Structure 1
Amino acid sequence: MKRLCLLIAGLLISTSVLADGCDNETTQAGLNECYGKEYKKQDELLNQTYGQAMKLATDAQKTQLKAAQNAWITYRYADCAFLSSGADGGSVAPLVHAQCMTDKTVERTELLKSTLHCDEGDVSCVFPPR
């Protein structure tokens, strides 16, 4: 129980930057809904970034990126199911799961964004300047 409380407290502290709009929520249901909306917002940003990468990709890269993205989605769901399993059955479970999904989605978005712009001469660049 102590571990669960520490986990929840840590997640709540780490979420304050991403979901500032949830500060006014006073019920667990309201917090759960708010953090769920934050996840959906971040997922939309990821989809936009993925679309930008697909536009720059060659046909071979499109196949690779699609496979990588599908594998990452499977990983994200499985990892967040595991990482939030300590809260299963509790009223805070949706919040904990949504925060995990949000964190991983933000990380993936930043990774994909980093592939979109490369310095001239960067031989490790995924999408060289055209």
Structure 2
Amino acid sequence: MKISLVTVALILTTSAVAHAEQVCGDLTNQTDMNICAGKAYQKSDAELNALYKQIEARLKDDADTKKLLVAAQKAWVRFRDAECNFSSSTVAGGTAYPFISSTCLDTITKSRIEDLKGYLKCEEGDLDCPVPAAN
């Protein structure tokens, strides 16, 4: 199990840095790279929050499922933060920390965005999708 978690963390960190290099690749100093990565994460976080609100709205008549959504999202936020704290721990306190941390947050948030988008595409009668279809 420990090997699996380390492997997942390394893959996430590697893919996060590769993603950040695509987004912020033209920048040449650490400060600008940190700012760029932070803005990329803020953009993803705003998209995540908008999608979450759409799902909440669809669940307005189902308090029990809405509670499960809230619990799942809180658990996901704890996971995201813990994972990024872990994966960026080797640069903690250094000038690259904001870049590595923001890039990790952005990458994991983008993955969650895809999950939420999937919930918003549920069709009427889809029994393994907890979000009702749009009216």
Bucket of the pairwise TM-score, normalised by the shorter protein: 0.7 to 0.9
Q: What is the total number of aligned residue pairs between the two structures?
A: 121
* Structure 1: tracts of 5 or more residues without a match: 1-6
Residue in structure 2 matched with residue 71 of structure 1 by the alignment:
75
Change (3 A) 1:124 1:80: same
User: How far did residue 8 of structure 1 move?
Assistant: 8.0
Q: For the aligned residues, what is the CA RMSD?
A: 2.1
Stretches (4+) displaced over 6 A: 7-10
Asked if structure 1 preserves the Cα contact closer than 8 Å seen for 2:34 and 2:98, the reply is: yes
Residue in structure 1 matched with residue 96 of structure 2 by the alignment:
92
User: How far did residue 125 of structure 1 move?
Assistant: 1.9
Residue in structure 2 matched with residue 111 of structure 1 by the alignment:
115
SS in 2 for 1:69: helix
Change (3 A) 1:99 1:52: same
1:33 paired with 2:35, answer yes
User: How far did residue 102 of structure 1 move?
Assistant: 0.3
Asked if structure 1 preserves the Cα contact closer than 8 Å seen for 2:41 and 2:102, the reply is: yes
TM-score by length of 2: 0.79
User: How far did residue 56 of structure 1 move?
Assistant: 0.8
- Counterpart of 2:32, as a letter, is G
User: How far did residue 67 of structure 1 move?
Assistant: 1.1
User: How far did residue 121 of structure 1 move?
Assistant: 4.0
Q: Distance in 2 between matches of 1:9 and 1:28?
A: 18
User: Aligned runs of 1:1-20 on 2, under 5 Å?
Assistant: 11-17=16-22, 19=23
TM-score by length of 1: 0.82
- Counterpart of 1:105, as a letter, is T
The alignment-based identity, stated in percent, is 36
Q: Distance in 1 between matches of 2:91 and 2:81?
A: 16
Moved more, 36-45 or 84-93: 84-93
User: How far did residue 127 of structure 1 move?
Assistant: 2.1
Residue in structure 2 matched with residue 3 of structure 1 by the alignment:
none
Q: Distance in 1 between matches of 2:16 and 2:122?
A: 34
